[in-house]
Chains A and B, each alone.
Chain A
């Protein structure tokens, strides 16, 4: 599957002149993982562009979120709702809160704009989640489309392919 086939929407043109290198991208992904592990979901949300989307397919090699059920497929507004829900004391599926630990690795740049201001980054991740005496392990491949914007690096889209995307899942409440 090529990167072009993976994205259901168009990419966003970059504006600033900074070039995104592998080191910058890797640092960015590590910082993103850290925000999620620390439960700083508002700050995580701020990493996304105003027209970003976030997609967790339910099928291996799923081509499209629009004609096939996904695990999650959020536009910016739904992503905001997801984060707002996480902040609510009445999100009973997060009572008590999950504790998570993420590892990011094997980071590669798959495709880059000629001017270096936007690129698609592929990475591997492992996520440990602990809640109510149960530890779960998730793992898989992430694709981030990053752009160098006015606020620094931002995520235009993120796709998370879980190794067990088509398995029966208990609640997937904390974002990947």
Chain B
């Protein structure tokens, strides 16, 4: 791998991502997973420039509802103000900096700083300062509200922020990813999906970009997750692999523009909306059929099949993943350092779901995902082993992502190829190289 350098001292003329179309190779320098400098540069070049996921409208349903979360390293209050407008406020008192909203979630009439008692309305405006007669005449309280993030927009209830005032609007940014978000939202008869209560949080001692790769990498499924596939087989699901394939169905990996990407696979794992498998039990058949029927009536046969018979793992660049398969997962992750990340995962479902349908969805979600799931712990292990291997990044410099590069332009890149992973890396490299 070390021969994939075209500069002195293995620096490849400073490039960290190398695409050699002639040799049909694509390489990523492992320095990107370990370097504190790269980590610092990413904060500015990527997380301060891109639209970053904040939360879903269903998490702040009522006036005064709030969630506090860390978004791209900043403490953020994601809330609906008393006038019903969704907001993303920076959770730091304008006086001396303390966090003003200290709960993870709840409903507030106001935000009160416990340090000196400055109080803010839920729209961020400063409400009261104890002893405000001590300030001069020109002291302007109207300019001292909680700071709103520079840009805050949503697409179909998924809220994003941008710290770059000059960024293009969210819809333009999302490009082809919109079509795939639509396929998720279309699963609800009223077009309203909701975050299901509860959350999975876990840490991985690995670089955050490894989880981007892992979330859409169907090449690893058979090897890393053989115990999960055994569960499928033992439950009566057909997981036989046709000759010449690595997985039971043949899907594609797709470039959605602006660094976004997805897999797009015929389903074999069952879908709550709406594809029955034996795991759901015989008594769920009629229910799934009814969901399917509603889908066909509302969307037509073709669109219904598109929604209900295909799975997709979508990456919205840089760090939002929506896995739409045997359940719908919304997964967000941040680097805590070059070799450490914090993952937050929610389950998403149509607001119309009955208790039985919801239980079925959560059953599938928990079976695969999360710290107690049958797949996630093995993914975490794979990523941590990779990170440990990167300790030798000076000696073994390049990771290989060349699968599928031998294909002609009109041949599709498969989900088990790495064409869609290269989409992420090209965009990552572009933004990092633009950074002064």
Q: Which residues of A contact B (CB under 8 A)?
A: 56, 58-59, 62, 65-73, 77-78, 81-82, 84-85, 88, 90-93, 95, 166-173
B230 lies within 8 A of A88 (CB): yes
A169 lies within 8 A of B202 (CB): yes
Of B226, B230, B358, which one neighbours A67 at CB under 8 angstroms? B358
Closest partner residue, chain B, to A67 (CB atom):
B358
B121 interface hit (Cβ, 8 Å): no
Looking at chain B's contact residues, the main secondary structure is helix
Of B196, B198, B367, which one neighbours A59 at CB under 8 angstroms? B198
CB distance from B195 to the nearest CB of A (A): 10
Q: Quick one: which of B200, B365, B378 has the most chain A CB within 10 A?
A: B378
Given known A85-B231, A92-B382, A169-B371, contact A69–B362 (CB-CB < 8 A): yes
Given known A67-B355, A67-B358, A70-B366, contact A85–B374 (CB-CB < 8 A): yes
CB distance from A73 to the nearest CB of B (A): 6
Within 8 A of A (CB), among B350-365: 355, 358-359, 362-363, 365
User: Can you name 20 extra interface pairs (CB under 8 A) apart from A67-B362, A69-B199, A90-B226?
Assistant: A66-B355, A66-B362, A67-B359, A69-B362, A69-B365, A69-B366, A71-B372, A81-B374, A84-B227, A85-B230, A85-B231, A88-B230, A92-B378, A92-B382, A93-B377, A95-B381, A168-B343, A170-B371, A171-B371, A171-B380
Q: What are 28 pairs between A and B in contact, CB < 8 Å? A: A58-B199, A58-B200, A65-B362, A66-B362, A67-B196, A67-B358, A68-B198, A69-B196, A69-B362, A71-B200, A71-B370, A72-B366, A72-B372, A73-B366, A77-B235, A84-B227, A85-B374, A88-B226, A90-B226, A91-B378, A92-B382, A95-B381, A168-B201, A168-B202, A168-B203, A168-B342, A171-B377, A173-B377
For residue A166, which residues in chain B have a CB less than 8 angstroms away from its CB?
199, 201
Given known A65-B362, A81-B231, contact A58–B377 (CB-CB < 8 A): no
Q: Which residues of B contact A (CB under 8 A)?
A: 196-203, 224, 226-227, 230-231, 234-235, 342-343, 346-347, 355, 358-359, 362-363, 365-367, 370-372, 374, 376-378, 380-382
Nearest 4 Cβ contacts at the A-B interface: A69-B198, A171-B377, A93-B377, A72-B372
Number of A-B contacts (CB under 8 A): 105
What's the Cα separation between A91 and B380 when bound, in Å?
12
For residue A168, which residues in chain B have a CB less than 8 angstroms away from its CB?
201-203, 342-343
Looking at chain A's contact residues, the main secondary structure is loop
For residue A73, which residues in chain B have a CB less than 8 angstroms away from its CB?
362-363, 366
CB distance from A77 to the nearest CB of B (A): 8
What's the Cα separation between A69 and B202 when bound, in Å?
14
Closest partner residue, chain B, to A73 (CB atom):
B366
